[in-house]
Structures are given as structure tokens and as C-alpha cells.
Amino acid sequence: MASEQELKKISPSQKEFQSLLDQDFKDRKLKENEIINSTVTEITKNFIIVDCKAKMEGMIPIEEFKNDDELSKLKVGSKIDVYLERIESFKGEIIISRDKARKMKAWKKMEKVFESQEEMTGYITGKVKGGFITTVEGLPCFMPSSQIDVKPMKRIDHLMNTPVKVIATRIDKNRGNVCVSRRAVLEKNKNAVITEALKNLKEGDIVENAIVKATTDWGIFLDIDGVDALLHVSDLSHGRVKKPADLVTIGQKLKVKITKIDSKTNRVSASVKALIEDPFENIEKKYKLGEIYEGVVTKIMDYGCFVKIQEGVEGLIHNSELDWTNKNIKPSKVLSVSQKIKFKIVNIDKETKRISLSYKSTLENPWDKIKDLVGKEVKIIIKNITDKAIFGDLSDYGLSGMLHYKEISYDESVENLKNFKKNDIINVKIIELKDDKIRFSKRALEKDPLDWFKDNNKKVGDVITTRIHEVLKTGVKVSIDKEKKLIVNIRKSDLAKEASDQRPEVFSKDNALDAKIIELDIKNRRIKLSPKSAQIDEEKTLIAKFGEGATKSGATLKGIFEKAIGKKSKKEK
């Protein structure tokens, strides 16, 4: 402030001007941290000078005007809003900011347009991790990389520092962060165009000039009067289509039928096969079950081959219908793509549009040729030996069969497998042919030891004389025939009537032992002998002949036998 001496020197006119100036500043209502209006008074190389109706003019760095095209429009006298930070600094200067005014104004506007999803103009000014910095009316916002376009973009140089339309997608008031999306604007505009275009389309319409835009393994994308449509691979043809790209080219025009329009997603589905008569409609009239026809192999899979019967109709030959001798044969070893073959119709399912075919039914069946060989002797070549059986081939017929270890010999020992090796040629008899499986038997070529019972007219209840073959802890093994091919095991409990006489160690090899046949099952090869039963039956016979006293205390079988023999001798004398 001026001193009293200085005031005395001021003229009355100056005093009046000072008074009016003080009154003018008093009437000006300037408040800090608010946006105020100002007038551009001068534009210099580094600053924009404005009049804010303060005690002095304010200076704004020209950098605050370079983020958009505002600087080119500025001229002396232009009105601009600025943010008042300080009315007077320690230097007596007013502190203002155009940038902060824009940001505050933009934030308030951003809050409004976020609710209404109104489009705004922004400038992509820089790249950060995960996206880009986009300045919207002076407010820095974040635009994720996925939101810059409807499809991934490798280069965006042409979008940098140029005006782009965006929509606010998220606002964080606490952090002052805003996320914007250019993609949402593009999709919104595109959907509006599509919605308008869809008014001219309806389900069932036939479009003559649908343009092929792109192809994939699962379908074709079409352009129908500016609307994207999908032609799925299953709607291309009534037959099997390997690759859509094999049938069409980019830019080609197709005649299609609109099959579905989803109003919610604006998705359109089209079909070519809907314009073509379904070949399965009267398929059963043209092709009869059990008849043989010709076709071309179109595709080979692990589980079988597809054969083209006619245009739009294919049938499947399953693995099991390719070869008579190998149900799991690899299809590529039998047939090849483009090969013309004969086949038999096995089944036609109109509902699922599936036709089952058989290739092997057109070939000679080797199983029919060997039906007459059941029960006859044949030669086989050993191809494999497992821990339970031998597998061999009937070389003249291309068929394989099994020789179980129990069918090698009548002793049914698994050790017999060791007597054979791969590629040996052996004689066997075919004993069974069932479900395309062959069972061989080597022992069937020899006389069955069990025929001994038939030859000697022996049956259950008869007593036979056997020879001790082997003494075991649990009993004994006895041989019935002289050739010792018929060996039967007798349990310890069946050796004698008395428990004290049931000890196996009292028997010696080749000793004779009478035993009763208590079970004889020729079919299942089960024989059960019992010396104990033979003794019991013998005692019953003696008791019936000599009375019950013959077996009382002090009497033995030996004494009874001697008595019987003695009496007989006296009578003879």
C-alpha cells in the first residue's frame, strides 16, 4: 500500500481512479479452486495471456493447448474457461490453468455421458501396459488394447493423435480413473446398420447373391446385403463335406436360404442344402437291404470307411465289415480313397440319415469253406504261444484258431506247451466252429483213455483193481489202465474204512488197490474212486453171508476169509 506522504502527492483525479479500481475488484467475485471465464489478450510463443478480471493478467503455458486443435482456433478476444488455483501468489501473480479447467469440465461431463453412453471425441496420445492413454476433452483416460477395434490390430499408428469416437465404459470416482472404448462405438454403429438391414430380411427368404467372405473348417461366412451370415458346414450339402474351402472360393456368389435370424444377437444363419431335395426322402425305394451296389470311397477313418453311394448320400463300412478274418483290421490296409468298390446295404436309418454297408459280404466267406472240416484232421502253423494256449493258422484258408493246453494231451498239463515253438507245423482236429472262432484239439487225434470204461463195460458202482502210481501226503494217485494214461487221484479219507488205515505212507508204488467207482462223468472228464467204499461193500456182503457175528470183537476179515476158504476145501475133499 502507498504511504501517507505518497497519498498526499496523488492528485484528486488519480485518487478517483484508484477508488473506482478498488471498487471494481471488490465487485469481482473470484473464488479459488473454481472454473472462471477469461478473455485472451495476447498470444506469444510460449504463453497465452488472458484477462480473468483480476488485479493482473494470467499466463498459461502454450503446452496446455497442444493436446487438441484448440490452439489453431485461438485468437485475441477468444473466451476460454480456466481453473483458478490461486488469486494471488507470493509474487502477486494469479495462478490459473487451462488444462485443469478442461479436466474438471471433462470429468463432470464424463459422469453425465457415462450414464447415457453418449459418444465423445478423444485422442490416443500414448501407449502403456495393456492399452493406450486417450485424452477426452483434456481428461486422460485408459483404453484397453481389446477395446481399440472390433478385431485385433497389429499397428495403430494411423490412429495416434487423431480424433476418435469413444464411449466411457467404467468410471472410478475415488481414483479418478476412466476407461473408454472405441470398439463399443464401432459395434454400436455396426449393429445399427445391421438392424436396419435386417428389416429387409426374414426367415425363409432365398438370396441369390450371397458373397463368400471367409471360410473355416466348420463353415463359411457370407455377406448378404451388408449383413454377416454363417453357412455351417452341415448346411452345405446333404452329404459329407470334408472342407468348405474345397467347394467355394472367396468372393464367390452363392444362392442360399435364410434359415434363422436371431434378433437379440443379429446373427443370421443360411443354408444351401435347404434348396436341394433331401436324397434320403425316398432312399428305401432306391436301395434295398441285402442288395449289392457300387460306390466310391471318399474318406478313411480309424473306425471305418465312408463310401459315396450317390450325390449327397454316403454310407459307412465299419472295421468289422471289411474283412472276414480280422474284425479290427486297419481300414487303410484294405481300401483307399477314390477306389471304386462293391458293397452290400446292411441297414438304412432315415431319421439319423445313416447307412451301414458291408464290404466283406461281397467277398468269398472262408468260414463257409471250413464248415465241413469240423471233426476232421488239419494242419496248422503255430503263430503264437501264450501261457494258456497255442494260436495257429489254417494257411489254406487264411483263418486262425486256438489250441488250449488242455486239448494238447489227455493229462491236461500246462507243461505240454513247452513242447512246441513258433512256426511249427502240427496236426490237429477242428472240434468247434462258433461265432467265427475255431477251436483245435491235438489229443482228439488219439484214443481217449476214458474209453477204457466203455471197452471194459465199467460203470458207477463197479469195483476195479488199480495200481499205485504216486504216493502223496493228501492221498494217492492210481493208474487204471495198463498204459498208465488214465491216472486218478484218491483222497486220503477214501483210502480205507478205518482212520488208522488211511495213512498214504502204508502204500507203495505199483501195489494193487481195489476201488469202487463212485462218480463217472465222461463229458466233463470227472472220475472218483474209493477203496473205502469197496471195503464197506465187501463187508456188507460177508455179513450177509456169515452173519453179523463175523465182525464182532476178535474176528477179522482175514479170519473170515480163511474160514470161508477152509470150509470150501473140506467140501472139495
SS (H, E, C) 74-120: CCCCCEEEEEEEECCCCCCCCEEEHHHHHHHHHHHHHHHHHHHCCCE
Q: 267: number of CA atoms within 13 Å, CB side?
A: 8
pLDDT at 26: 52
Based on the fold, state whether residues 254 and 296 are members of the same structural domain.
no
Within a domain: 13: no
Based on the fold, state whether residues 547 and 513 are members of the same structural domain.
yes
Q: Which contiguous run of DSSP H or E holds residue 268? A: strand 267-271
Based on the fold, state whether residues 392 and 333 are members of the same structural domain.
no
**In the predicted model, is pLDDT for residue 515 greater than 80?**
yes
Using DSSP, state whether 465 is helix, strand or coil. Answer: strand
Based on the fold, state whether residues 185 and 125 are members of the same structural domain.
yes
For the residues 167-177, what does the mean pLDDT come to?
A: 82
Lowest-pLDDT range of 53-67, 222-236, 286-300, 382-396: 53-67
Using DSSP, state whether 464 is helix, strand or coil. Answer: strand
Within a domain: 371: no
Looking at the structure of the chain, the number of domains it has is 6
**In the predicted model, is pLDDT for residue 228 greater than 70?**
yes
* Last residue of one domain, picked from the residues 141, 156, 189: 189
Contact indicator for 532, 496 with CB cutoff of 8 Å? yes
Q: Are strands 313-318 and 354-358 parallel, antiparallel or unpaired?
A: parallel
Instruction: Check residue 553 and report its DSSP letter.
Output: T
pLDDT at 570: 43
Helix-strand-coil split of the chain, %, nearest 5: 30, 35, 35
For the residues 52-71, what does the mean pLDDT come to?
A: 76
Q: pLDDT exceeding 70 applies to what percent of the chain? A: 87
* Three cell numbers written together for 507: 502204500
* Average pLDDT of every residue of the chain: 82
Question: For residue 110, how far is the Cα from the chain centroid?
Answer: 49
For the residues 347-359, what does the mean pLDDT come to?
A: 89
Lowest-pLDDT range of 47-51, 218-222, 380-384, 561-565: 561-565
pLDDT at 197: 66
Based on the fold, state whether residues 458 and 541 are members of the same structural domain.
yes
CATH of the domain at 163: 2.40.50.140
pTM of the complete model: 0.46
**Could you tell me the residue range of the domain that residue 482 belongs to?**
451-551
pLDDT at 569: 45
Within a domain: 7: no
Within a domain: 12: no
Within a domain: 323: yes
Based on the fold, state whether residues 183 and 228 are members of the same structural domain.
no
In angstroms, rounded to a whole number, what is the distance separating the alpha carbons of residues 348 and 280? 10
Within a domain: 258: yes
Lowest-pLDDT range of 65-74, 129-138, 208-217, 384-393: 65-74
In angstroms, rounded to a whole number, what is the distance separating the alpha carbons of residues 258 and 201? 8
Based on the fold, state whether residues 430 and 490 are members of the same structural domain.
no
Instruction: Check residue 456 and report its DSSP letter.
Output: T
Lowest-pLDDT range of 68-77, 464-473, 561-570: 561-570
Higher pLDDT pick, 152 / 555: 152
For the residues 19-23, what does the mean pLDDT come to?
A: 57
Based on the fold, state whether residues 338 and 389 are members of the same structural domain.
no
Lowest-pLDDT range of 66-80, 418-432, 506-520: 66-80
Tell me the per-residue pLDDT of 178-225, one tens digit each, with 9 for 90 and over. Answer: 899 998 888 777 776 666 666 777 778 888 888 888 888 888 888 887
* Three cell numbers written together for 45: 510463443
The number of residues in the chain equals 573
Within a domain: 223: yes
Q: pLDDT exceeding 90 applies to what percent of the chain? A: 17
**In the predicted model, is pLDDT for residue 296 greater than 90?**
yes
pLDDT at 24: 53
Within a domain: 563: no
Based on the fold, state whether residues 438 and 474 are members of the same structural domain.
no
Q: Which contiguous run of DSSP H or E holds residue 366? A: helix 366-369
pLDDT at 347: 93
* Last residue of one domain, picked from the residues 275, 291, 310: 275
Based on the fold, state whether residues 513 and 486 are members of the same structural domain.
yes
In angstroms, rounded to a whole number, what is the distance separating the alpha carbons of residues 240 and 221? 19
**What is the per-residue DSSP string for 484-530?**
S--EEEEEGGGS-SSGGG--GGG--TT-EEEEEEEEEETTTTEEEEE
In angstroms, rounded to a whole number, what is the distance separating the alpha carbons of residues 396 and 410? 28
Which is nearest to 303 in space by CA: 274, 332, 280, 278? 332
* Last residue of one domain, picked from the residues 255, 275, 295: 275
Based on the fold, state whether residues 467 and 527 are members of the same structural domain.
yes
